[in-house]
């Protein structure tokens, strides 16, 4: 068993001071939106997956490493969205951290968000947690520290980006129906959209290919299948859905 | 004169380790776009305005303080756009810094960009520079460190945001003509735009009020004057120019 001083020394030696990374990992599957959260050992304290930056590690690699440690997956859509830098944001309350000087310094946290199909993920707790799990957005526990603010900022960013960036490539199957794609938007926005307006607007962006096949089976008229037009999709990621000037 | 140890101690005592702020300050006026740069004492070395975060200072306040120190202005449109975190990005080459351990640590830099009317600004050098001045975008000197990358990322961000966010409120006079507004877009994008397409598209966003008055004087037909519709402008800042779903 390491002494407190040895433990402090361990963190100090490996990681940069003052800098942390927090990840808001949104999980979507068939009309459900969840967020990945950890529960502390022996207490009802929930927080977002996060970690620190190794002395010689690029920050993007740190974010990917942290995400992989918690989810088992890499090459995920993972993006910086905001830096959280209030001086009093990082007062740890967890008993484990309380007497550790590394954890008791001020941390400026770089927020990343990711969007994954939660069926692909096997959540894994870290050393301070007994549980790493998907929580429904309409059944969230109380968050530790400023993690609710970080989560809300990520959700606001994701919703705003729906207005000018394409979404869904990593979340939808290769072929999908218009109602399935609409469901993704409705789930993220947490509201119903008008079917005809949605179809008109999304088709107007030119990011979909209408396929020859229809979805077989079911009592109703077979719905058309679509796939993403990747060339246009990537251009829209770069220039915005309405194109450039 | 302070010894090297005293100088190091001074920086270490006041500022957080490992964290810096770099500001890309774009200056626009009558069809000219410039960027604020500093020239080191006694060498032909140019860099962006920047600084560090005080031990108990929120990062937004730090960015505003740094900008005010260099420009004399505050309450400016100033926005985080990216964090630069490569481990080898912060190798200082300036003689002043070379033997100072504070400057020789790894810095992760939070990039902010600002957009101002350069006529409003009196640039002021910092302790390490003999010159703080506006440089034309088509006549830029070589940048120190990764500052060219920071500048390019800010410019790309600004150009992308033109596709989905309104711009110009802090840069245009209260009343302006359509060609004057088009000139702002053309200057930032560094390309000519079609007059009729520009007018149709910008009017379609609903962020302009067409005024009763026209611009008097000049040999041609007096052009119509416009002002920003602030309510719609602010909504578009929040939801994007094409509105929400």
| pLDDT at residue B118, rounded to an integer | 93
DSSP H or E segment with residue A36? strand A32-40
Summarised one tens digit per residue, pLDDT across range B83-93 is 999 998 876 54
- Judge whether residue B23 has pLDDT over 70: yes
CATH number of B176-239: 1.10.10.10
B162 contact residues in A (CB cutoff 8 A): 245
| pLDDT at residue B104, rounded to an integer | 84
**Residue among A59, A198, A239 minimizing CB distance to B163:** A239
* Nearest-Cα residue of chain B relative to residue A79: B82
Q: How far is CA B56 from CA A86, A97, B16, B200, B241, in A?
A: 8, 21, 9, 49, 37
* Nearest-Cα residue of chain B relative to residue A245: B163
Is residue A244 less than 8 Å (CB to CB) from chain B? yes
- Judge whether residue B244 has pLDDT over 90: no
- Judge whether residue B80 has pLDDT over 90: yes
| pLDDT at residue B92, rounded to an integer | 59
A87 contact residues in B (CB cutoff 8 A): 55-58
Summarised one tens digit per residue, pLDDT across range B126-183 is 888 999 999 999 999 999 999 999 999 999 999 998 988 999 998 898 999 999 999 9
The fold for domain B4-162 equals: Nucleoside Triphosphate Pyrophosphohydrolase (3.90.79)
B85 contact residues in A (CB cutoff 8 A): 53, 58-60, 62, 110
Distance CA A190, CA A158 (A): 12
Segments of chain A assigned to CATH 1.10.10.10: 176-239
Q: Which residues contact B123 (CB under 8 A, 6 or more apart)?
A: B36, B70, B71, B132, B133, B134
Under an 8 A CB cutoff, do A55 and B106 touch?
Answer: yes
Is residue A83 less than 8 Å (CB to CB) from chain B? yes
Summarised one tens digit per residue, pLDDT across range A83-141 is 999 998 876 545 555 666 788 889 999 999 999 999 989 999 988 899 999 999 999 99
Summarised one tens digit per residue, pLDDT across range B184-226 is 999 999 999 999 999 999 999 999 999 988 877 666 778 899 9
Distance CA A10, CA A136 (A): 36
Percent of chain B clearing pLDDT 90 (strictly above) = 68
Q: Model ipTM?
A: 0.89
Percent of chain B clearing pLDDT 70 (strictly above) = 91
Is residue A240 less than 8 Å (CB to CB) from chain B? yes
- Judge whether residue B96 has pLDDT over 70: no
Under an 8 A CB cutoff, do A163 and B87 touch?
Answer: no
Under an 8 A CB cutoff, do A19 and B108 touch?
Answer: yes
Segments of chain A assigned to CATH 3.90.79.10: 4-161
Is residue B244 less than 8 Å (CB to CB) from chain A? yes
- Judge whether residue A58 has pLDDT over 90: yes
Is residue B83 less than 8 Å (CB to CB) from chain A? yes
Q: Where are the alpha helices (DSSP H) in A72-219?
A: 95-98, 147-161, 178-189, 195-204
**Residue among B106, B110, B163 minimizing CB distance to A245:** B163
- Judge whether residue A57 has pLDDT over 80: yes
Is residue A91 less than 8 Å (CB to CB) from chain B? no
Q: Provide DSSP, chain B.
A: ---HHHHHHHHHHHEEEEEEEEEEEEEEETTEEEEEEEEETTS--EE--EEEEETT--HHHHHHHHHHHHHS--S--EEEEEEE--TTTT----HHHHT-TTTTS--EEEEEEEEEEGGG------TTEEEEEEEETTSPPPBSTTHHHHHHHHHHHHHHHHTTS---TTTS-SSEEHHHHHHHHHHHHTS---HHHHHHHHHHTT-EEEEEEE---SSSPPPEEEEE-HHHHHHHHHH-TT---
Confidence category of residue B109, pLDDT binned at 50, 70, 90: very high
> DSSP state, A146?
T
Segments of chain B assigned to CATH 3.90.79.10: 4-162
DSSP H or E segment with residue A231? helix A230-239
Looking at domain A4-161, its CATH class is alpha beta
Q: Which of residues 166-205 of A touch B (CB under 8 A)?
A: 185, 189, 193, 198, 201
- Judge whether residue B3 has pLDDT over 90: no
Is residue A16 less than 8 Å (CB to CB) from chain B? yes
Confidence category of residue B95, pLDDT binned at 50, 70, 90: low
Report yes or no: B117 and B29 within 8 Å, Cβ to Cβ. yes
């Amino acid at each position: 068993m390491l002494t407190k001083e040895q433990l402090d020394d361990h963190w100090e030696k490996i990681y940069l001071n003052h800098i942390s990374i927090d990840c808001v990992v949104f999980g979507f599957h068939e009309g459900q939106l969840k967020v990945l959260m950890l529960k502390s050992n022996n207490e009802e304290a929930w927080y977002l997956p996060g970690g620190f930056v190794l002395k010689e590690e690029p920050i993007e690699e740190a974010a990917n490493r942290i995400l992989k440690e918690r989810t088992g997956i890499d090459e995920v859509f993972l993006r910086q969205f905001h830096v959280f830098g209030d001086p009093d944001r990082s007062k740890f309350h967890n008993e484990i951290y309380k007497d550790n000087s590394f954890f008791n310094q001020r941390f400026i946290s770089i927020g990343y968000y990711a969007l994954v199909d939660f069926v692909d993920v096997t959540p894994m707790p870290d050393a301070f947690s007994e549980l790493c799990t998907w929580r429904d957005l309409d059944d969230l526990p109380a968050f530790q520290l400023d993690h609710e603010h970080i989560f809300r900022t990520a959700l606001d960013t994701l919703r705003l980006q729906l207005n000018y960036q394409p979404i869904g490539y990593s979340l939808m199957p290769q072929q999908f129906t218009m109602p399935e794609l609409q469901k993704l938007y409705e789930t993220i926005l947490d509201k119903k959209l008008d079917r005809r307006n949605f179809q008109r607007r999304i088709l107007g962006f030119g990011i979909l290919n209408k396929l020859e096949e229809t979805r077989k089976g079911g009592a109703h008229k077979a719905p058309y299948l679509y796939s993403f037009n990747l060339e246009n999709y990537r251009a829209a990621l770069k220039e915005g859905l309405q194109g450039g000037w």
